[in-house]
């Protein structure tokens, strides 16, 4: 079991405020301070630095946070494994981003289910930010994401690398056929919600060209890949998506890929889990098995 004072440390890291951490844990603020002092004495390192009312992590605190997060996740996993072992039914709980959940995971997951008929499966489909939060909280064991993540906090295994392309309805009419990214700026842009990996990748690609989402003629924010695809087919705008997510529509001719001279981009789909987890080898084996499907 994790020391209860480590739970206090994690609560302070989450809220970056001793009072709110105390409220969340239903203990007093002096108790929070006492727990942090104990950990600092035990590890012989300062964990937090304070500037006025602002609380921040020291380098030592950041290191402990990564380790404590992995330990908490592993403890959740161990408890579940023990429960399911006594019942004779192991369980696998993981997450995928919406793009991967809707267009990639079905085949490898089906293959895994067939090879492991006694394993219970719990799959969470959310955006990248939400999955990272669940990993830190120990609510899922690993995640398959296409968005950016901190390599210092997570171990990873690349699942595949996918082209990221601009698309529109087959019959969409432009003022003139676009040849560069700037030729698209007058268009309505269909884009995912903040926290989505797909949106984050697009925003970072635009920044390198001194552009932003606001530079398009109109932005339509949608939290569903399915709805974005439907709106694209109805010629409601353009979008930037993984080719894998639209390959069926490209094949049938409902959508077309826009070939731009200055926008050729690929990005990884990656399995990630908390860095330092004692179950890292087990996660790698599961991920490699799904890669083979």
8 Å CB contact between 89 and 65: no
Q: Quick one: CA torsion of 132, 134, 139, 141, rounded to 10 degrees?
A: -10
Residues across the chain: 293
Rounded to whole angstroms, how far apart are CA atoms 147 and 128?
Answer: 6
Same domain, 177 and 273: no
Same domain, 18 and 58: yes
Domain count, the chain: 3
In the block, tokens 């269909």 appear at 190
Rounded to whole angstroms, how far apart are CA atoms 235 and 250?
Answer: 14
Same domain, 138 and 279: yes
Report yes or no on 71 lying in a domain. no
Same domain, 125 and 252: no
Report yes or no on 74 lying in a domain. no
Rounded to whole angstroms, how far apart are CA atoms 160 and 281?
Answer: 19
pLDDT reported for residue 71: 83
Report yes or no on 72 lying in a domain. no
Report yes or no on 232 lying in a domain. yes
Same domain, 47 and 182: no
Same domain, 180 and 278: no
Rounded to whole angstroms, how far apart are CA atoms 6 and 284?
Answer: 27
Report yes or no on 79 lying in a domain. no
pLDDT reported for residue 143: 96
8 Å CB contact between 5 and 72: no
Rounded to whole angstroms, how far apart are CA atoms 187 and 183?
Answer: 9
Helices (H), 44-165: 59-87, 98-103, 106-115, 128-137
Domain boundaries, position 133: 88-156+269-291
Rounded to whole angstroms, how far apart are CA atoms 46 and 165?
Answer: 47
Beta bridge partners of 169: 255
Same domain, 49 and 182: no
Same domain, 124 and 171: no
What CATH number should be reported for the domain holding residue 14? 1.10.10.10
Report yes or no on 252 lying in a domain. yes
Same domain, 259 and 276: no
8 Å CB contact between 130 and 195: yes
pLDDT reported for residue 88: 54
Same domain, 215 and 260: yes
Give the CA radius of gyration of the chain: 23
Report yes or no on 43 lying in a domain. yes
- Spell out, as residue ranges, where the chain has pLDDT lower than 50: none
Summarised one tens digit per residue, pLDDT across range 120-140 is: 889 999 999 999 989 888 889
Same domain, 179 and 274: no
At 49, phi and psi to the nearest 5?
A: -120, 145
Report yes or no on 81 lying in a domain. no
The distance from CA 247 to its chain's CA centroid, rounded to whole angstroms, is 23
Same domain, 235 and 96: no
């Amino acid at each position: 079991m994790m020391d209860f004072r480590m739970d206090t440390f994690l609560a302070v890291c989450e809220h970056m405020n001793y009072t709110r951490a105390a409220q969340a844990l239903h203990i007093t603020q002096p108790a929070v301070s006492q727990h942090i002092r104990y950990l600092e004495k035990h590890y012989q390192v300062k964990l937090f630095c304070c500037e006025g009312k602002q609380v921040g992590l020291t380098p030592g605190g950041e290191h402990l946070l990564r380790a404590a997060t992995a330990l908490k996740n592993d403890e959740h996993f161990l408890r579940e494994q023990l429960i399911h072992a006594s019942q004779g039914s192991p369980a696998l709980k993981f997450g995928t981003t919406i793009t991967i959940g809707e267009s990639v995971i079905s085949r490898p997951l089906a293959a895994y289910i067939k090879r492991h008929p006694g394993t219970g499966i719990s799959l969470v489909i959310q955006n990248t930010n939400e999955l990272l939060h669940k990993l830190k909280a120990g609510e899922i064991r690993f995640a398959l994401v296409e968005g950016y993540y901190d390599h210092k906090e997570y171990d990873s295994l690349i699942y595949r690398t996918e082209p990221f392309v601009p698309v529109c309805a087959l019959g969409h009419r432009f003022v003139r056929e676009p040849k560069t990214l700037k030729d698209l700026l007058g268009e309505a842009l269909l884009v995912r919600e903040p926290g989505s990996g797909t949106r984050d990748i697009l925003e970072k690609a635009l920044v390198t060209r001194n552009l932003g989402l606001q530079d398009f003629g109109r932005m339509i924010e949608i939290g569903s890949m399915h709805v974005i695809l439907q709106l694209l087919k109805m010629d409601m705008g353009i979008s930037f998506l993984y080719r894998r997510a639209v390959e069926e529509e490209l094949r049938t001719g409902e959508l077309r890929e826009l070939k731009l001279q200055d926008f050729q981009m690929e990005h990884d789909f990656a399995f990630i889990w908390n860095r330092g987890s004692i179950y890292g080898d087990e996660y790698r084996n599961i991920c490699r098995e799904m890669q083979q499907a």
